[in-house]
Structure 1
Amino acid sequence: MDFGKELSAHETTISGLMLFDIPVHGDNRGWFKENWQREKMVAIGLPDFEPVQNNISFNRSVGTTRGIHAEPWDKFISVATGRVFGAWVDLREGDGFGRVFTAEIDPSRAIFVPRGVGNAFQTLEADTAYSYLVNDHWTPEAEYTFLNLADETVAVPWPISLDSAELSQKDRDHPRLDTVRPITSR
């Protein structure tokens, strides 16, 4: 983890997907960070997406892999403890469809994922707690889109082979890009 970063926002290769450096302050006791502060985040370019829920995914093993899921809401993702390799795929209709961005996320980084961008991660440390704010509540009637983690077209460069990774059967069975129905614009 990188201590001493300034709060800053970085554009990515996917429209609306923004990577953030988060200041983390540490000493002999451990560390502290202000993970989400609306006024500061909006001031540096994060859309004021009005989160309504906070979710945490605890992942016991290195190589736990989840995704690729695109939901009809925005997410602000961070890691409370541990480290992940994140992969995002634009699954919205339009010119960016199928575009990929990857980055490592630890407690000193966060990412804003706009509606319709597929989200996936693979844990690089045991006991990783992956946290995300969302601006809508889950419902079975919502428009969801999924993509296979091993899709050859997007070719995510997973650091741990999917053959060796912990995956759910549901994630293994997601469709390939050529059969994915893009998420429509609002």
Structure 2
Amino acid sequence: MSELKAHPKISATTTTIEGILVLEPKVFGDERGWFMESFNNQDFFHATGLKVEFVQDNHSFSRQATLRGMHYQLEKTQGKLVRVISGAVFDVSVDLRKSTSTFGKWFGIELTADNRKQLWIPPGLAHGFLVLSPTAEFLYKTTDYYDPQSEVCLVWNDPTVAIQWPLSSGAIPNLNVRDSAGLSWINAPKF
């Protein structure tokens, strides 16, 4: 990983997947506590070079060992800026863009309330997370609206993608019906 640009309020670091960025906001603290700007459009642009417009904010609460994902939309594709405000998750994205050198690859990172890292996930990737702490609250901004008619789920444990989830050997995460019945890599529509 390498830093894109130095900025006084936020740093952006590249990852092993084309277009995914790890963002670290500057935290100002003293004996009273701390303050940070969780999002500032101007600073985001200066750190990343990306002009994005967010149209929806989502907030989820999940219990330990819950896995949500791997979701994406075929229409109204969404870029996402994700972060954790309570607890810890293992956040994963899979590149579904045939035009990239990282097509079919996955990237995972631990996001926690303590490390305050954020992840920019561009459109064209499947996204999900596994809750590592007893509970977690997860916030994310999207660049397009939720479109249930075009939503697709890539199965979380597809052997071709081979995501290395931090689970005990043989453990099955808590999944809803839709996520447990996700499509295989071979059958999942790509971009």
Q: TM-score, normalised by structure 1?
A: 0.85
Give the corresponding residue for 1:17: 20
Q: Aligned in 2, Cα 1:6/1:52: closer, same or farther, shift over 3 Å?
A: closer
* Correspondence for 2:70: 68
1:44 is aligned, of 47, 62, 87, to 47
Q: Distance in 2 between matches of 1:124 and 1:110?
A: 17
Give aligned-pair identity as a percent: 31
1:179 corresponds to 2:187: yes
**Residue type of the partner of 1:80?**
I
Deviation at 1:182, TM superposition (A): 0.2
Amino acid corresponding to residue 105 of structure 2 in structure 1: R
> Deviations along 1:57-109, whole A, 9 cap, x unmatched?
111x2111110112311111011111111111001233432111111112310
The total of aligned residue pairs comes to 177
Between the aligned partners of 1:66 and 1:27, the Cα distance in structure 2 is 36
- Following TM superposition, by how much is the alpha carbon of 1:167 offset from its aligned partner in structure 2, in angstroms? 1.1
Q: CA deviation at 1:164?
A: 3.8
Gaps of 5+ in 1: none
Q: Distance in 1 between matches of 2:125 and 2:187?
A: 16
**Could you tell me how far apart the structure 2 residues matched to 1:100 and 1:173 are?**
20
- Aligned pairs for 1:1-186 (under 5 A) are 7-26=10-29, 31-45=34-48, 47-59=50-62, 61-71=63-73, 72-95=77-100, 96-107=102-113, 108-141=116-149, 143-161=150-168, 163-183=171-191
Q: Deviation of residue 6 (structure 1)?
A: 6.5
Structure 2: which 5+ residue stretches go unaligned? 1-7
> Secondary structure of 1:41's partner?
helix
Q: What is the Cα-based RMSD across aligned positions, in Å? A: 2.1
* 1-structure distance, mates of 2:187, 2:137: 32
